[in-house]
Amino acid sequence: MAKTEKEKMIAGEKYFPVTEELTNDRTRAKDLCYKFNSLPNSETEARKAILKELFGKCEDDIAIESNFFCDYGYNITAGRGFYINHNCVILDCAQVTFGDRVLIGPNCGFYTAIHPITAKERATLAETAKPITVGNDVWIGGNVTVLPGVTIGDNAVIGAGSVVTKNIPSNVLAVGNPCKVIKSLEL
């Protein structure tokens, strides 16, 4: 039996995102993000309920500041003590997994989608996606971009303004564009 475009997307294969199923899934996520972003910050329980409906998995102590945007939501998993500051975008065409006690600064982006390099292939609207994994006790500074296929290890700190193009090991401070390890951190 042939795979659906959604199954191909989640499997990391080439897929076409303009199918009715994926368009409906994105519309659902955008509508939930709109509802979330429209609620006053004081509506804590209602905001958490929307995130629980939107995300594949999240804990009761999740905290996300408005504005927040994602493509599908169901490919996002967040551990305990998860916090995102203002203006975060997660393009979750593949799985995006955050461990426990992850802190994300303002204006960060996590992008799993990969568009073809050639204009001819881009014109077909085909794309692929690779997962992003962030370990436990990670702090990501403001204005950080994390690209497809990246894993950030436990206890890592990613400096503000970094563009993370490759895996970052555990217990390090990494900064820059491209992001590079500049020192080990004591536990």
Among all residues, which ones are annotated catalytic? 115
The DSSP letter of residue 39 is S
| 57 to 80, 85, 140: CA distances (angstroms) | 10, 19, 20
Residue 47 region by backbone torsions, left for phi larger than 0, else alpha for psi between -120 and 50, else beta? alpha
Residue 127 region by backbone torsions, left for phi larger than 0, else alpha for psi between -120 and 50, else beta? beta
Q: In sequence order, what are the residues at sequence separation of 6 or more whose Cβ sits closer than 8 angstroms to the Cβ of residue 60?
A: 48
CB pairs under 8 A, 24+ apart, for 29-35? 29/54, 29/70, 29/71, 29/72, 29/73, 29/74, 30/69, 32/73, 33/67, 33/68, 33/69, 33/70, 33/73
Gyration radius of the chain over CA positions: 17
For residues 117 and 123, is the Cβ–Cβ distance under 8 A?
Answer: no
